[in-house]
């Protein structure tokens, strides 16, 4: 696989011809039809033969070596290049066969009908865990159930380990009060633990994922004690324990989202954690990249000092957002898939830019009513940047928020970079 950025004058036929592919191969790899229009700045995945790289205009051997996690010397020797500075566009280079790291992947799923089952079947071979979102914990220790039997069946067929996700969700948001009641009552917790174990046994889940958010800061120790209470019965019964953590950059970061999430304790007690390294560009805030890579690295710089690297799944968004300009507090951005973001850019012929610091694509357009919009989303380049981070920090793997999402390029980039570990 290679990633190619569309230039002015490119057509799907010209791109396919440049790489020795058919139009159908390129279109299928990117999830669109052979008649689809392209837009300047769009990133395509090109399904080139494995261990082959086709030189593009402007490439240097140093750039290629960095991109492919090898060295200029190895590339030059492998291809018998007399002068490493003399390569030309269209030249086919053989790439040394380097071992790919093995990682685990998780995806949170929010559709349990035909679409959710179809997506699980389609991409399940690249998932270690699937996390149907979510069972809501009640203030009495009960669990509001999901109708997810079809999804669990599809997961089983793809050897995916499903995780039971519990949250302090109430109505349309996370409830600090529900978490407070549960975390401060041993009686309620006893009921909750029994309900968790019963659900795990009856439905075939392989582990528990606790996603308690906006927990009151004063309940930090109570949350830690609750996790301690879960570990022994879960492990005795053969289940894993994991948690979802807010993206902190220091132990004493202030704010309702952060303070009750004790990284060292979660790192010690759980089998793994999901770092929610996304939502900088949140729907109710001003336009910004969803997961700017510089901010993601700041979170990881702290996280790896508090949690073993081999226990960290880095959160990866698989969506985009469209903000109306000028931004006004109270306006909510429209959330859609990366594929829909590209289709919209094509409709308005909006040239896609790529931010060098945030490592994320974005564009502006004017709608039919004359209103200006700003869009940030994910593409093959931004996913490659996140794969590079997982490699650089030697993490356990990646966790996607959320499926279903129309984003075939993600799975091509993932497979290009890693071997995927299955636990069942």
pLDDT greater than 90 at residue 424: no
For Cα atoms 43, 100, 26, give the angle at the middle one, nearest 5 degrees.
30
**pLDDT category, 50, cuts 50, 70, 90?**
confident
Confidence band of 84 (pLDDT split at 50, 70, 90): confident
Q: Does the pLDDT value for residue 30 go beyond 90?
A: yes
- C-alpha 24/C-alpha 401 separation (Å) is 29
Burial class (CB in 10 A: 0-12, 13-18, 19+), 89: exposed
Distance CA 254, CA 236 (A): 36
Q: How confident is the model at residue 293 (pLDDT cuts 50, 70, 90)?
A: very high
The pLDDT-based confidence of 98 (bands split at 50, 70, 90) is confident
- Mean pLDDT of all residues in the chain? 96
Dig out the tokens for 49 from the structure. Answer: 């033969």
Between CA 54 and CA 61, with CA 59 as vertex, the angle to 5 degrees is 85
Residue 99 has a pLDDT of 85
In the predicted model, what is the mean pLDDT of residues 139-161?
96
Q: How far is CA 346 from CA 5, 59, 176, 283, 377, in A?
A: 14, 27, 42, 23, 14
Q: Is 39 left (phi over 0), alpha (psi -120 to 50) or beta?
A: beta
Q: What is the pLDDT of residue 388?
A: 97
Mean pLDDT of 15-31: 94
Listed in order, strand segments (DSSP E) in 267-344 are 272-275, 312-317, 320-324, 334-336
Q: Which helix (H) or strand (E) holds 240?
A: strand 240-245
Omega of the bond leading into 134 within 30 degrees of 0 (cis): yes
Whole-prediction pTM? 0.94
CB-based contacts of 387, cutoff 8 Å, min separation 6: 398, 413, 414, 417, 418
Closest by alpha carbon to 193, among 142, 260, 266, 261?
Answer: 142
pLDDT digits (tens, 9 = 90+) for 347-383: 999 999 999 999 999 999 999 999 999 999 999 999 9
CA distances (Å), origin 388, targets 100, 245, 292, 381, 418: 12, 21, 14, 11, 11
Coil, helix or strand at residue 47: coil
Question: Could you say which of 5, 194, 213, 221 is catalytic?
Answer: 213
Residue count of the chain? 424
Q: Enumerate the domain spans of the chain.
A: 2-94, 102-420
**pLDDT 10s digits, 101-115:** 999 999 999 999 999
Q: Check residue 83 and give its pLDDT.
A: 85
Would you call 228 a catalytic residue per the annotation? Answer: no
Architecture of the domain whose range is 102-420: Alpha-Beta Barrel (3.20)
Question: Which class is domain 2-94?
Answer: alpha beta
């Amino acid at each position: 696989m290679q990633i190619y950025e569309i230039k002015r004058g490119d057509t799907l036929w010209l791109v396919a011809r440049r790489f020795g592919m058919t139009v159908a191969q390129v279109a299928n790899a990117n999830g669109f039809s052979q008649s689809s229009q392209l837009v300047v700045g769009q990133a395509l995945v090109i399904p080139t033969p494995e261990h082959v790289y086709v030189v593009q205009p402007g490439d240097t051997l140093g750039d290629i070596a960095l991109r492919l996690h090898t060295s200029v010397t190895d590339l030059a020797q492998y291809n018998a290049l007399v002068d490493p500075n003399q390569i030309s566009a269209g030249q086919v280079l053989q790439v040394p066969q380097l071992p790919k790291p093995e990682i685990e992947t998780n995806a949170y799923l929010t559709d349990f009908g035909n679409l959710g089952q179809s997506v699980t079947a389609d991409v399940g071979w690249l998932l270690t865990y699937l996390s149907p979102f979510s069972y809501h914990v009640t203030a009495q220790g009960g669990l509001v159930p999901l109708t997810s039997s079809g999804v669990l069946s599809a997961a089983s067929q793809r050897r995916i380990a499903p995780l039971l996700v519990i949250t302090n969700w109430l109505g349309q948001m996370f409830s600090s009060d529900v978490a407070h009641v549960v975390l401060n009552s041993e009686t309620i917790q006893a009921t909750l633990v029994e309900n968790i174990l019963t659900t795990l046994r009856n439905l075939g889940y392989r582990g528990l994922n606790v996603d308690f958010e906006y927990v009151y800061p004063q309940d930090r120790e109570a949350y830690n004690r609750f996790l301690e209470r879960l570990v022994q019965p879960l492990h005795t019964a053969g289940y894993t324990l994991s948690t979802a953590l807010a993206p902190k950059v220091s132990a004493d970061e202030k704010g309702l989202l952060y303070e009750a999430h004790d990284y060292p304790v979660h790192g010690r007690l759980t089998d793994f954690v999901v770092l929610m390294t996304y939502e900088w560009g949140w729907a109710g805030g001003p336009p910004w990249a969803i997961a700017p890579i510089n901010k993601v690295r700041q979170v990881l710089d702290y996280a790896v000092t508090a949690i073993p690297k081999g226990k960290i799944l880095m959160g990866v968004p698989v969506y985009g957002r469209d903000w109306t300009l000028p931004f006004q507090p109270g306006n909510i951005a429209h959330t859609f898939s990366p594929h829909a973001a590209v289709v919209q850019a094509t409709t308005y012929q909006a040239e896609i830019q790529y931010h060098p610091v945030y490592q994320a694509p974005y564009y502006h357009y004017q709608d039919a009513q004359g209103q200006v919009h700003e869009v940030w989303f994910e593409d093959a380049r931004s996913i490659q940047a996140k794969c590079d981070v997982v490699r650089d920090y030697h993490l356990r793997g990646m966790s996607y928020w959320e499926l279903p999402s129309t984003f075939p390029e993600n799975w091509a980039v993932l497979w290009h970079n890693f071997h995927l570990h299955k636990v069942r």
